[in-house]
Structure 1
Amino acid sequence: MNARAVTSDVLLGMVPIALLIAIWQAVGSLGYAPATLLPPPGMVFARLAQQLLTSTFQQEIAATLFRLFAGFLIAVVVGVTIGLFAATNPAINAVVRPIVRVLAPLPKVALYPALLLLLGFGHESKITLVVADALFPILLSTYYGASMVEQKLIWSAMAAGTPRRQILFKVVLPAAVPSILTGCRIGLVISCIVVFLAEMITSTDGLGHVLVTAARTFQAVDMFVPLITISLLGLILNGLLQGLRSYLLRGFPEV
């Protein structure tokens, strides 16, 4: 993908965001919502710029990012590992498939009270909730990506003398990378949502805690600041992951 195409995609992507901000401004300017409940975007972004310069708000962001990255990385390692082995080993597949069918549709946030009792109110319960939610899209994407690898690639590797135990990492894993990265992008978005929600439910720090604290004191501007922040963080992280995907798949026709 050349620089002109990237620039065009970025500009097109900014259009709906600009439109959303314009609607936000219009709703307040036309009097459909009072400024005390829906502050204008200029006020919110000014407050965000001010907060970003404070060490306290930076620490809140750091706490959220730590939980997000810890949970997401664990989900990637576990999901890719289980997905690969389930796709290539019928016995493991027979064990994993019913577990995934039962647990994947379950709203993991329903398990959060139990996680709080088991792991406490610190990082552990929130990281575990992120892992539980981000795991399944990564696992399923890995499984289907590895299952769709053409059998002739495996036969060719075996004919070339590749040991059977190395085929998984030299043939199946590279061929499944596009699907794995797609699952990782979905898992990353889910991780951003879940960590924010967990901090809103119970936490003494993090962006979710900032929002709840502002809501309890009726500070509407400060309520919107963490929302905009987590959205920007998700946008940046998604862009970085997309850049990594383009780099890793630069030899693939679709990239």
Structure 2
Amino acid sequence: MSDPRERIRVSARLREGALGLLPILGLVGIWQAVVSLGLAPPALLPAPGTVLARCLAQFANPEFLGHAGATLSRLAVGFLAALVLGVGIGILAAASPGVLAVVRPLVRVLAPVPKVALYPAFILTLGFADASKIALVVADAVFPILLATLQGAAMVEPKLVWAARAAGTSPRAALLRVVLPATLPSILTGARIGLVVSCIVVFLAEMITSTDGLGYLLVRAARSFQTVDMFVPLIAISGLGLLLNGALGLARGRLLRGFPEEG
């Protein structure tokens, strides 16, 4: 890490990470104060230390890890499918006025619809297994990715495409070599939003109908009034989202290293 600019970027990220911990520590402090002052009964709000001890025990439990793996699998498949669909449709719509004329009104109508309302239809058509949950993740996560792709493609300088076409590049090659790379910052921003949405939706789907996964564990604990065990899946899905978002952030830094805003 001999590059001074790289050292500055790493230092800035470390400071941001340290500052980001402060609100979390403050929230835990308030939680502990509420418990210590007896403002909430332990049966409803266990102490942070009790929850932490249970988390450490469960994170080493193969059964719990199996449930977490089921959630991660559904999340990954749904998010990647949404990413492919969102980017693919967005780039095609940017390249073709006809496709854009079809896509734009559909997005305006469907994007505001709460996709969880479609979940019963997904269950009826795809069953109670993973397919219906993955379909719900795709239906919810695809729109922020698609909208970000459309926005990014609309901001590409037309002169770049004209120059590529004048140099003999085919329309398809110009789309892949000029428009797609220039749209990458917007795509990755939409992907980070879609990832957060995917975490929320897969957890919700497992709460509604599932026999495994982190959402199922929360519902199972709630039915038996095991409040400590209710906190563990919530912390696990939060940590999982944090790790995935961090990984996507690292990938963004590498992919956009040559862009001015990343310099």
TM-score range, shorter chain: over 0.9
- Letter paired with 1:215: A
In structure 2, C-alpha distance between the alignment counterparts of 1:124 and 1:138, rounded to whole Å: 21
- 1:189 alignment partner, SS class: helix
State the 1:197 CA deviation. 0.3
Runs of at least 5 residues in structure 2 that lack an aligned partner in the other structure: 1-5
Whole-Å Cα distance in 1 between the matches of residues 260 and 175 of structure 2?
23
Q: Is the Cα contact below 8 Å between 1:88 and 1:147 reproduced in 2? A: no
Contact 1:87/1:144 (<8 A) preserved: no
Provide the residue aligned with 1:35 in structure 2. 42
Give 1:95 shift: 1.0
Q: Distance in 2 between matches of 1:253 and 1:40?
A: 47
The alignment partner of 2:246 has SS state of helix
**Which residue of 13, 38, 59 corresponds with 2:20?**
13
How many pairs align? 255
Distance of 1:24 and 1:110 partners within structure 2: 34
Any idea what SS the aligned residue of 2:134 has? helix
How far apart, in 2, do the equivalents of 1:194 and 1:251 lie?
34
Residue by residue over 1:203-239, the C-alpha shift from the partner in whole angstroms, topping out at 9 and shown as x without a partner, is 0000000000000000000000000000011111111
Shift of 1:20: 1.0
**How far apart in 2 are the matches of 1:39 and 1:131?**
35
Are positions 1:193 and 2:200 aligned together?
A: yes
Q: Structure 2 CA distance, aligned partners of 1:249 and 1:46? A: 40
Identify the match of residue 46 of structure 1 among 32, 49, 53.
53
1:82 equivalent to 2:61? Answer: no
CA distance in 2, matches of 1:187, 1:194: 10
Runs of 4+ in 1 over 4 A off after TM superposition: none
Mapped to 2, the partners of 1:183 and 1:197 lie a distance apart of 21
Counterpart residue type for residue 68 of structure 1: L
Q: Which stretches in structure 1 are left out of the alignment for 5+ residues?
A: none
2:261 alignment partner, SS class: coil
> Of the candidates 133, 150, 170, which is equivalent to residue 177 of structure 2?
170
Map 1:241-252 onto structure 2 (within 5 A).
Answer: 241-252=248-259
Q: How does 1:1-255 map to 2 (within 5 A)?
A: 2-255=9-262
Query: Offset at 1:158?
Result: 2.0
Q: Distance in 2 between matches of 1:127 and 1:13?
A: 31
In the TM superposition, what whole-angstrom CA distance separates every residue of 1:34-61 from its partner, at most 9, and x where no partner exists? Answer: 1110111111111011001111000000
Shift of 1:160: 2.6
Post-superposition Cα deviations, 1:38-94, rounded to whole Å, max 9, x if no partner, equal: 111111111011001111000000000000000000000011000001111000011
Tell me which amino acid in the other structure corresponds to 2:16. D
Aligned equivalents of 2:252 and 2:77: distance in 1? 20
Task: Tell me how far 1:161 sits from its aligned partner.
Answer: 2.5
Alignment partners' CA distance in 2, 1:87 and 1:18 = 45
Identity, in percent, stands at 64
Partner amino acid for 1:198? A
2-side partners of 1:191 and 1:32: how far apart? Answer: 35
Root mean square deviation of aligned Cα: 0.9
Q: Structure 2 counterpart of 1:79, which letter?
A: G
Quote how far apart the aligned CAs of 1:99 are.
Answer: 1.1
Q: Return the letter of the residue paired with 1:248.
A: L
- TM-score, with structure 2 as normaliser: 0.95
